[in-house]
Structure 1
Amino acid sequence: MKQIRITKIFSFETGHALYGYDGKCRNVHGHSYKLFVTVIGSPIEDTNHVKYGMVIDFSDLKKIVKEEVVDVFDHATVFNKNTPHFELAKELSDRGHSVLLVDYQPTSEMMVIDFSEKIKTRLPQNISLHSLRLQETDSSYAEWFAADN
């Protein structure tokens, strides 16, 4: 059976600040992210299977990505856990805001690596993560490809 790639697109809003950066992005700000998730596999050949002809049900892929990425990052503010913004992060969290402290610089590049690890572990055995594209603005995005890793 041929390998087929399918893609589902997700949107979420996330704030962040880049610790140590020499430009405007050192300040707390946010983006309307778009995450393009592409998986690869063979369509199910069993004519008696309820998902016959599908690589993966889009709703199954949606559940994985929502639980691992969208529901976690949407309307959260992400900081490197070593940031001097730690006090701000604690204050926001204490006031009921969603704050994520991560062990990386929360750039699109590093976030897409994090997302790839989270999504890969949840996919069925016969499905592979092919690529991710995390679009930060209309003209800027980071991509992760399994073939490169």
Structure 2
Amino acid sequence: MTKIRVTKQFGFEMSHALTNYDGLCSNIHGHSYKLQITLIGEPLLKKGDPKDGMVIDFSELKKLVKKEIVQAFDHSLVINNLSAHNKLLDLGQLYERHHLVNFQPTTENMVIFIADKLKTLLPEHLELFCVRLYETSSSYAEWFASDNN
């Protein structure tokens, strides 16, 4: 059977700060992230089925990623839980949407986090092939399953 890759792109706004970083990114700042999720699988070959010919219905992929990733991180502040920045969270509603994570919230580490989360949520017949996260229009990190076997 033929394997096909399908990709869906998402966007969200998120702020973060890099603990102990030796530059401006040690300050809280934000990005307009673009996230690309690529799955690999075999198209369904079932005449008469509404999903005939699809690896996954793009609307199903959209629903999953929006719920688990985009809605969670959109317009939020992500900070390493070891950071002194977490004292800002005591300010209440100003930082109501926040995530304390156990890693430095670099684009690289966010890609690993997203890949690990999505791998456990995909239907059995699909595999996560690639996660690409653009922090800016010219800078991104990517995770490939083939690099992580």
- The CA deviation at 1:122 is 1.1
- Could you tell me which residue of structure 1 aligns to residue 5 of structure 2? 5
C-alpha contact 2:77 2:95 (8 A) present in aligned 1: no
- The CA deviation at 1:85 is 0.7
C-alpha contact 2:40 2:128 (8 A) present in aligned 1: yes
The equivalences for 1:43-122 within 5 A come to 43-91=43-91, 93-95=92-94, 97-122=96-121
**TM-score between both structures, scaled by the size of structure 1:** 0.96
- The CA deviation at 1:49 is 2.0
Amino acid corresponding to residue 16 of structure 1 in structure 2: H
- Could you tell me which residue of structure 1 aligns to residue 124 of structure 2? 125
- The CA deviation at 1:96 is 5.8
- Could you tell me which residue of structure 2 aligns to residue 28 of structure 1? 28
CA RMSD of aligned residues (A): 1.0
C-alpha contact 1:79 1:89 (8 A) present in aligned 2: no
- The CA deviation at 1:118 is 1.1
- Aligned partners of 1:124, 1:67: CA distance in 2, in Å? 16
Deviations 1:106-130 (A, max 9, x none): 0000000000011111111000000
- The CA deviation at 1:95 is 4.1
Q: How many positions carry a matched residue from both structures?
A: 148
> Structure 2, unaligned stretches of length 5 or more?
none
- The CA deviation at 1:97 is 2.3
Runs of 4 or more above 3 Å deviation: 93-96
- Aligned partners of 1:7, 1:38: CA distance in 2, in Å? 4
C-alpha contact 2:9 2:35 (8 A) present in aligned 1: yes
Amino acid corresponding to residue 117 of structure 2 in structure 1: K
Give the 3-state SS of the residue equivalent to 2:6 in structure 1.
Answer: strand
- State, as a whole percentage, how many aligned pairs show the same letter: 53
- Aligned partners of 1:104, 1:95: CA distance in 2, in Å? 23
Change (3 A) 1:28 1:96: closer
